[in-house]
Amino acid sequence: MSKLAINGGQPVRSKAWEFNFHGPAEIGELEKEYVMNVLNHGKVFRFMNDEDKSYPAMMEKFYRERLGVNYALAVNGGTSALICALAALGVGPGDEVIVPAYTFIATAAAVLAVRAVPVIVECDDTLNMDPEAFEAAITPYTKAVIPVHMRGVMAQLNEIVAIAKKHGLYVVEDAAQANGGSYFGKPFGSIGDIGCFSFQFFKVITSGEGGMVVTNNEVWAARAGYQHDSAYQFWGDQISVPSIPGENYRMSEINGALGYAQAQKMDGIVSKLRHNKKRIVAGIKDIPGIRLQRVVDPEGDVSTGVIFFVEDKALAQPFSEALRAEGIPNGNIFNGGFADRHIYRNWDYIMDKRMASPVGTPWNCSEYKGNVDYHADMCPVTLDYLSRAISIGLNQRIADEDCDDVIQAVTKVAESLLIKA
Ligand SMILES: Cc1ncc(COP(=O)(O)O)c(C=O)c1O
């Protein structure tokens, strides 16, 4: 057994790790061309352009066709996409919305933005919402559930949608981190009542900032449109659905141009990511002492990362450090250190039930009859998985040799730290 690099041995890899973000790493001539088109004609406001010339409108068409849905609405972020979705469904004061304990804080913040109460439930070994925990958390006040496809890995939608149907709840799919993925052949975002995407910098494709709302329902589509623009009727066709006041979540032409160029690259990015993940998974799946995150449909996984669990959480941090010393950047997802806003216990304003004004909050307004409470240790199963999880971020530019370095390094560290003599 060779000596670990952390103990002075030879590292598996000394070459720098190519760590580029997904979409941003691909910004090139096409993005420049489309953005320059907008700057050259100068109509940066989307509703000044004909539908066939507007880049946000082209993105919407792209999503409608790709997902096979009737309606798509480009917005200025994933958070605003979620807010539009919830507002479209009529979620508001007095309602509870169930969210997983492991997701970006924005999922829960969107619930608060429509003045409803987020209810946090456990994740399982998929690191996504545990369907049983979801069902157990349903109360007479529950109106919707937001399964999240965290890090590109699918939530268990068959189970979640069936439970939601049984209880008459809406399903909003948060696919912010999962652009380009699918669930047993169906594209993410097209399975729940409404799907939401983000094109923020860290996502599979980027428009700088941006998002998309997709649905098959005409009324919800119109209401999402109203929510994304307080004067929606000024610009488009007159819609028969009664209007509601909105905010300003419009996507600009510049963001649309960047996003539309990136959309052409999405399949290329995802297929390379999948190739890399498959190669690494094949090489590490049988290593004694580690267990891979459960992925219910590997074919649909966006594959932005590889996550595995070690059995003993006390070994997770040493494992992570040893692996880094071997030249493989990685992280132990939860170790009480950095207050990662993807983990519910670090959602400070939610844990403290704090809104901009203390009056009439989602929790203390007269409409709310429930009694949801939060505390740092309320989801021990999720914390246990995250504290034992080692996460390696993948990039589409990583070559087969880089994947093989990962396999060799994980094997080496596992043999040293996990396998008892
Ligand atoms: C799971 C999840 N939901 C929602 C969002 C919000 O997206 P945005 O940052 O575009 O508002 C993000 C990412 O930032 C996310 O990761």
- Checking if the pLDDT of 237 tops 80, the result is no
Q: What percent of the chain has pLDDT over 90?
A: 92
Interval between CA 80 and ligand 1 midpoint (Å)? 9
DSSP conformation letters of 177-225: T-TT-EETTEETTSSSSEEEEE-BTTSSS--BS-EEEEES-HHHHHHHH
Q: Please list every protein residue whose CB sits less than 6 Å from any atom of ligand 1.
A: 77-79, 103-104, 106-107, 148, 174, 176-177, 198, 200, 211
Distance (Å) from CA 78 to ligand 1 centroid: 5
Distance from Cα 110 to the centre of ligand 1, integer Å? 10
Choice among 115-124, 237-246, 298-307 with the minimum mean pLDDT: 237-246
Pocket test for ligand 1, best of 75, 76, 79 (most atoms within 8 A of CB): 79
Atom of ligand 1 at shortest range from CA of 81: 11
Q: Which atom of ligand 1 is nearest to the CA of 77?
A: 10
Question: Which atom of ligand 1 lies nearest, measured to the CA of 198?
Answer: 10
**CB-count exposure of residue 22 (10 Å: 0-12, 13-18, 19+):** buried
Q: Is 420 a catalytic residue?
A: no
Residue 389 has pLDDT above 60, yes or no: yes
**CA dist list (Å): 115 to 90, 173, 292, 365:** 11, 19, 38, 9
Interval 57-66: pLDDT, tens:
999 999 999 9
* pLDDT score recorded for residue 418: 87
Paired residues of 85 in beta bridges: none
Confidence of residue 420 (pLDDT cuts 50, 70, 90): low
> Phi and psi for 415 in degrees, rounded to 5?
-60, -35
The single residue of 143, 203, 272, 412 carrying the catalytic annotation is 203
Residue with tokens 């993940």: 277
| pLDDT value of residue 13 | 95
Sign of CA dihedral 372, 378, 382, 386: positive
Contacts of range 406-410, beta carbons closer than 8 Å, 24 or more positions apart: 406/280, 406/283, 406/284, 406/306, 406/328, 407/279, 407/280, 407/283, 407/284, 408/12, 409/12, 409/13, 409/323, 409/326, 409/327, 409/328, 410/283, 410/284, 410/287, 410/290, 410/308, 410/323, 410/328
Using the mean position of ligand 1's atoms as its centre, give its distance from the Cα of residue 372 in Å.
24
pLDDT-based confidence at residue 49 (cuts at 50, 70, 90): confident
